[in-house]
């Protein structure tokens, strides 16, 4: 049983660490949203594993809250920050977004043909 708990928590912790690396590296806001979503779901999975292995049902309501929170967070960020990004003519800083919200993705061909990195304008689209 100890082996099972060590294995399970090691795999969950590895998933959390990799999601945290993606959360810190970005490069765009949407990558961070996806990573945060994955992080919250893995955290709720870890709580469920703890509840199952110890037969301790007291953390199960926390599970419902964390699951709801992940959904509300990703949807609100995608809806409102994404709407602000669509309204802005530039890279989002003119509507009050931080710089990291609109960083160029790695190896993006759209940023290689004239448009500078971080400012994808509509010029790339005919």
Partner 1 sequence: MNDVDSVADVIAVACLLVGAFFCLTAGVGLLRFPDVLSRMHAGTKPQVVGVLLIMVGAAIRLTGSSVTWMLLLVAAFQLLTAPVSAHLVSRIAYRRRHVRRDLLLVDELGGGPRARPGAPRGDEPADGVDQAGR
The neighbour count for residue 80, using CB atoms within 10 Å, is 10
The answer to whether 81 touches 96, Cβ cutoff 8 Å, is no
Q: Which of 41, 83, 86 is nearest to 64 (CA)?
A: 41
Distance of CA 123 to the CA centre of its chain: 29
As given in the structure block, the two tokens for residue 45 are 């999975």
The answer to whether 103 touches 28, Cβ cutoff 8 Å, is yes
Q: How far is the CB of 82 from partner 1 (least distance, A)?
A: 3
Q: How far is the CB of 65 from partner 1 (least distance, A)?
A: 10
- Give the nearer residue to partner 1 in terms of CB position, either 79 or 99: 79
- Of residues 18 through 57, those in contact with partner 1 by CB under 8 A are 18-19, 21-22, 28, 30-31, 33-35, 37-38, 41-42, 44-45, 48-49, 51-55, 57
Distance of CA 80 to the CA centre of its chain: 15
Q: Which of 9, 10, 72 is nearest to 40 (CA)?
A: 72
Interface mask toward partner 1 for 87-126; x: CB under 8 A: x-x------------x--xxxxxx---------x-x-x-x
- Give the nearer residue to partner 1 in terms of CB position, either 5 or 93: 5
8-state DSSP, 66: H
Q: Which residues bind partner 1 (CB under 8 A)?
A: 1-2, 4-5, 7-9, 11-12, 14-19, 21-22, 28, 30-31, 33-35, 37-38, 41-42, 44-45, 48-49, 51-55, 57, 60-61, 63-64, 67-68, 71, 74-75, 78-79, 82, 85-87, 89, 102, 105-110, 120, 122, 124, 126
């Amino acid at each position: 049983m100890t082996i099972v708990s060590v294995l399970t928590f090691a795999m969950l912790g590895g998933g959390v660490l990799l999601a945290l690396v993606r959360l810190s590296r970005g490069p765009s806001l949407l990558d961070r949203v996806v990573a945060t979503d994955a992080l919250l779901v893995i955290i709720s999975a870890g709580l469920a594993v703890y509840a199952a292995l110890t037969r301790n049902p007291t953390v199960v309501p926390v599970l419902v809250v964390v699951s709801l929170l992940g959904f509300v967070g990703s949807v609100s960020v995608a809806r409102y920050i994404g709407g602000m990004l669509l309204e802005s003519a530039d890279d989002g800083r003119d509507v009050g977004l931080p710089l990291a919200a609109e960083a160029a993705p790695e190896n993006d061909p759209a940023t290689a043909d004239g448009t500078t990195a971080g400012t994808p304008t509509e010029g790339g689209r005919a």
